[in-house]
Structure 1
Amino acid sequence: MKTKELELYLNELLEVPRFKDYCPNGLQVQGRLETLHVVTGVTASLALVEAAIEAGADAILVHHGYFWKNEDARVIGQKHARLKRLLGADINLMAYHLPLDNHAELGNNAQLGAQLGITPTGRFADDQLGWTGTLPRPMPLSELAAHVAGVLQREPLAIGDADRPVRTVGWCTGGAQGYFDAAIAAGVDVYISGEVSEQTTHLARESGVAYLAAGHHATERYGIRALGEHVAQRFGLRHTFIDIPNPV
């Protein structure tokens, strides 16, 4: 299909104009005009770019792209290396940050909840990016942490009473430790995110709301993969998800 048609479809599907983001969403680096093979991955690292070139991709679709707010605008160093490889291979790069976090079916939060078996019940925070839900049954925090580790193949950092039962869950993928206060206000038993900050331990102890830091990369694998599968099925494209390991 025409690359422009794919971009316009994704922009509409993910409601890009709604979001004031930290980076441009949509087509970030222009490549060939036709797209038949889409590679998806979490972050447009050089390793992903190289793997996509090896796979014969026409377009790379990611959650974390380039040109972030307040970054150095010069094309030097690693930015130069990445752009040189993309432009030399004539591959399109499309990135969707907050719009992908938000989507009700294909988004990072929706997909993480589905992977963990959480039934969604609502949203929280001023921007409604945080989600709330319930587990199939109450379980000790230690059991939930083991479940998360099994699904994500990464051991989470669990802050809270390991033996205390939890049932209601708040979550927001990636670097969303800043939503912990809003999750506490939403009345959940435990909050799951990707990263953790120094003050989080104190908030968890004092509030009684447990915190699971399950990994920025690990919690955001599923939205971009689901988006790639969606466009492949809808438009008859070839899709390859490439996971570049990242312990963070």
Structure 2
Amino acid sequence: MTSAVELADYCNLLLGVERFTDYCPNGLQVEGDRPLRRLVTGVSASQRLIDAAIEAEADALLVHHGFFWKSEAAPLTGLKGRRIATLMRAGLSLLAYHLPLDAHPELGNNRQLADLLGLRQARPGSGADDLLWCGELVEPLPGAALASHIARLLEREPLHIAVRTRPLSRIAWCTGAAQGAIERAAALGVDAYLSGEISEPTVHLARELGIDYLALGHHASERYGVQALGAHLAASFGLEHRYIEIDNPV
């Protein structure tokens, strides 16, 4: 039987955790008290996901968004205290991987999004751990057609800031709250930039930079890395794996 510590040690090495300066601790965040047979994955460690993992009789829960963010208060009180108490009463381990899971060349959110959308020659913009990726569409598409393609695959309508009148070909993307990278994306010479979230200045920047911008939804853009990692761990350690979707329109 595999322990939570053994699973975390494997993931830490696989994802190269030590290379990243992150906003939260990556790895084992809450250690349960039993060996692992069933693994549940999900995007964010909300109470609903924790309750669903317990109902599924999971021994470990692996998420992209865990706890202990730099902006959070430290005491385990209130909402965070209730979540962690629920985990500990159930003996359920919690593992979380943030930036290392965005960046991984095969299992990461950026790679998995590229594969889902059929983007070719997908690669980091500069350097192996760059969170900004770029690639090409199989064939050029008008912006509205690209938005429809994304909506069909993500089952969520993206917010599309249409700028270019010509078909789009070269695409840059970064999952999650990465709207601030739009200027760096434009510097790569792309026709469009995709991220999870949008801010008020993003609209003006897209228009002035001359590129289309599509906000896919933070949650919708980051559902796929945890699923790929969960499937990999299940195959490597002989675990049962189940992804649980907790809907989030943001």
Settle same-fold status: TM greater than 0.5. Answer: yes
Q: Which residue of 1 aligns with 2:156?
A: 154
Offset at 1:84?
A: 1.1
- Mapped to 1, the partners of 2:145 and 2:32 lie a distance apart of 47
Offset at 1:208? 1.0
> Pairwise mapping of residues 1-12 of structure 1 onto structure 2 (< 5 A)?
1-12=2-13
Matching residue of 1:17 = 18
The 1:201/1:89 distance shift into structure 2, 3 A limit, reads same
What is the CA distance between 1:5 and its match in structure 2?
1.3
Distance in structure 2 (CA, Å) of the matches to 1:225 and 1:152: 14
| Partner residue, 1:80 | 81
Q: By how many angstroms is 1:124 displaced? A: 2.3
8 A Cα contact 1:125 1:179, kept in partner: no
- Distance between the aligned counterparts of 2:126 and 2:105, measured in 1? 16
**What is the Cα deviation at residue 244 of structure 1?**
0.2
SS at match of 1:199: helix
Out of 225, 228, 231, which is 1:229 matched to?
Answer: 231
Q: Which residue of 2 aligns with 1:173?
A: 175
| Gapped regions of structure 2 (runs ≥ 5) | none
Aligned 8 A contact 1:23 1:66 in 2: yes
The residue number in structure 1 matching 2:96 is 95
1:99 aligned counterpart, secondary structure? helix
> What is the distance in 2 between the residues matched to 1:124 and 1:135?
16
8 A contact 1:142–1:162 mirrored in 2:
no
Corresponding position of 1:145: 147
- Contact 1:109–1:172, Cα closer than 8 Å, also in 2: yes
Structure 1: distance between partners of 2:140 and 2:125: 22
Distance 1:193 1:175, change over 3 A: same
Deviation string, structure 1 residues 114-138 (Cα, Å, up to 9, x no partner):
0000013432268611000000000
1:32 Cα deviation (Å)?
Answer: 2.1
Measured in 2, the distance between the counterparts of 1:125 and 1:157 equals 27
Q: Which residue number corresponds to residue 217 of structure 2?
A: 215
State the distance in 2 between where 1:190 and 1:57 align. Answer: 40
Amino-acid identity (%): 55
**Is residue 21–residue 98 contact of structure 1 (8 Å, CA) maintained in 2?**
yes
- Cα distance, 1:2 vs. partner? 2.1
SS in 1 for 2:249: coil
The aligned runs of 1:127-146 (5 Å cut-off) are 128-146=130-148
Letter in 1 for 2:95: M
Structure 1 counterpart of 2:88, which letter? L
Q: How many residues align?
A: 248
The aligned residue for residue 64 of structure 2 is 63
Return structure 1 stretches of 4+ with deviation > 6 angstroms.
Answer: none
Aligned to 1:116: 117
Task: Point out where structure 1 has 5 or more consecutive residues left out of the alignment.
Answer: none
User: How many angstroms apart in 2 are the aligned matches of 1:99 and 1:33?
Assistant: 26
Q: Is the 8 A contact 1:101 1:109 kept in 2?
A: yes
CA pair 87-29 structure 1, distance change in 2 beyond 3 A = same
| 1:42 aligns to 2:43 (yes or no) | yes
* AA matched with 1:75: L
Residues in 2 aligned to 1:151 and 1:122: alpha-carbon distance in whole angstroms = 21
Structure 1 residue 75: Cα displacement: 1.3
1:33 and 1:98 map into 2 onto residues whose CA distance is 28
Tell me how far apart the structure 1 counterparts of residues 5 and 84 of structure 2 sit (CA, whole Å). Answer: 20
Tell me how far 1:162 sits from its aligned partner. Answer: 7.0
What residue is the counterpart of 2:106 in the other structure?
Answer: 105
Cα distance, 1:125–1:182 mapped onto 2, change above 3 Å = farther
Return the alpha-carbon distance in structure 2 between the equivalents of residues 85 and 3 of structure 1.
17
- Contact conserved, 2:170 with 2:192, CA < 8 A, in 1? yes
CA deviation map 1:18-65 (0-9, x unaligned): 001000000001102411100000000000000000000000000000
